[in-house]
């Protein structure tokens, strides 16, 4: 797969898994994994390992990914209107660092098409929770962004189990400005107002950047508490390129975009520790960023994460990473 361009390899791999017996060969399931089920944010998760947003942007592969052993699958980021994203190539590997650089730019089929795709799923055959990661279209100015989030929230509401507000991707111009206190409070308040008008409100999370200063994180915690969100997902990808093993020529050739994978591990771990020390005990924390092996996943859970999400670790290690994490966690249940 690594001989192919990164984005090509992504789609080729999923097509292979669509073949008969594809998921049985690469299953990430293990015996007794039912013991790993836990209730988080009022939802019963089959296990604490999720697939972060960005892998299945268009909700095409949920049954396959559930067979690979994920306890939750986060689709998206979904925008109201379909958009092609940034020009290709836009996904690059840095194998020496076990990292990826992406500048996808919220390429997706749009909320209407994705809602129909989710509606057609037979949930009785899918033992996984589905999350909806929502964002704004590139052409939507920030002062009108709240409308985009509300459109996606409304269209996906009946088909996902929880929502994630994405204001932290570095690949949509100006998006991260929405993490500033006033803008963020406006968006989250509007979503929660819409949420509480529903008969059965859904858990709502905020996904934050790893490039925030601690005073910015403090402001975000205050907004999350004020708007009574379920919790925070920490973290998204970073724009930093510090302390990489890859030569600078290769890094520069990859260009701008969010970096994920092993170099993000310490930063994401540090932000998790900080959040757990500052947030109320009942605020749910989902840790994402740089989880490349079972011990790192367990370390995040031990540090106070309620759930973990993997993405780049899944690219480099495959479904076996799911199985290794579960086996390590099950050792504690005996």
98-148 pLDDT tens trace = 999 999 999 999 999 999 999 999 999 999 999 999 999 999 999 999 999
DSSP 92-131: EEEGGGTEEEE---S-B--HHHHHHHHHT--GGG--SEEE
Average pLDDT over the chain reads 95
Q: Which helix (H) or strand (E) holds 256?
A: none
Q: Is the pTM value of this prediction over 0.85?
A: yes
Sign of CA dihedral 242, 246, 247, 249: negative
Give the pair of three-digit tokens for residue 315. Answer: 């690219």
| Total length of the chain | 334
Which residues share a beta bridge with 44? Answer: 39
Percentage of the chain with pLDDT > 90? 88
pLDDT score of 18: 79
How far is 166 from 72, CA to CA, in rounded Å?
A: 17
**E strands, the chain, where?**
38-40, 43-45, 49-51, 72-78, 91-94, 99-102, 129-134, 162-166, 204-208, 231-234, 258-261, 284-288, 307-310
Taking only Cα atoms into account, the Rg of the chain, rounded to an integer number of angstroms, comes to 18
Which pLDDT band holds residue 28 (cuts at 50, 70, 90)? Answer: low
For residue 332, how many other CB atoms are within 10 A of its CB? 11
Which residues share a beta bridge with 45? Answer: 38
| Residue-wise burial string across 89-109, b where 16 or more C-beta atoms lie within 10 A, e elsewhere | ebbbbbeebbbbbbbbbbbbb
Q: Cβ(244)–Cβ(97) under 8 Å? A: yes
Catalytic-residue membership of 268 = no
At 257, phi and psi to the nearest 5? Answer: 135, 180
- Pairing state of beta strands 99-102 and 91-94? antiparallel
**Predicted confidence (pLDDT) at residue 30 exceeds the cutoff of 80:** no
Q: Which of 27, 120, 169, 288 is catalytic?
A: 169
**Predicted confidence (pLDDT) at residue 37 exceeds the cutoff of 70:** yes
Query: What is the average pLDDT across 257-261?
Result: 98
Query: What is the average pLDDT across 290-307?
Result: 98
């Amino acid at each position: 797969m690594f001989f192919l361009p990164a984005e090509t390899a992504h789609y080729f791999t999923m097509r292979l898994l669509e073949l008969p017996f594809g998921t049985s060969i690469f299953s990430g399931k293990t015996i007794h994994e039912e013991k790993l089920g836990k209730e988080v944010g009022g939802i019963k998760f089959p296990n604490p390992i999720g697939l972060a947003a960005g892998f299945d942007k268009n909700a095409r592969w949920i049954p396959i990914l559930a067979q690979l052993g994920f306890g939750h699958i986060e689709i998206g980021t979904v925008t109201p209107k379909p958009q092609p994203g940034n020009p290709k190539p836009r996904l690059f590997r840095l194998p020496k660092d076990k990292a990826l650089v992406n500048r996808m730019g919220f390429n997706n089929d749009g909320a209407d098409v994705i809602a129909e795709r989710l509606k057609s799923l037979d949930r009785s055959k899918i033992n996984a929770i589905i999350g909806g990661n929502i964002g704004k279209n590139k052409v939507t100015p920030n002062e009108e962004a709240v409308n985009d989030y509300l459109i996606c929230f409304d269209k996906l509401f009946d088909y996902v189990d929880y929502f994630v507000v994405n204001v932290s991707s570095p690949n949509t111009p100006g998006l991260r400005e929405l993490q500033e206190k006033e803008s963020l409070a406006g968006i989250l308040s509007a979503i929660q107002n819409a949420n509480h008008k529903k008969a059965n409100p859904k858990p709502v999370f905020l996904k934050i950047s790893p490039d925030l200063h601690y005073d910015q994180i403090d402001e975000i915690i205050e907004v999350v508490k004020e708007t009574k969100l379920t919790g925070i997902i920490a973290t998204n990808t970073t724009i930093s390129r510090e302390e990489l093993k890859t030569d600078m020529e290769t890094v520069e050739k990859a260009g701008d975009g969010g970096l994920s994978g092993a170099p993000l591990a310490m930063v994401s771990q540090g932000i998790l520790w900080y959040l757990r020390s500052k947030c109320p005990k009942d605020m749910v924390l989902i840790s994402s960023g740089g989880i490349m092996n079972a011990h790192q996943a367990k370390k995040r859970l031990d540090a106070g994460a309620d759930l973990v999400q993997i993405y780049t670790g899944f690219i480099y290690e495959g479904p076996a990473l799911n199985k290794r994490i579960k086996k390590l966690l099950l050792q504690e249940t005996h």
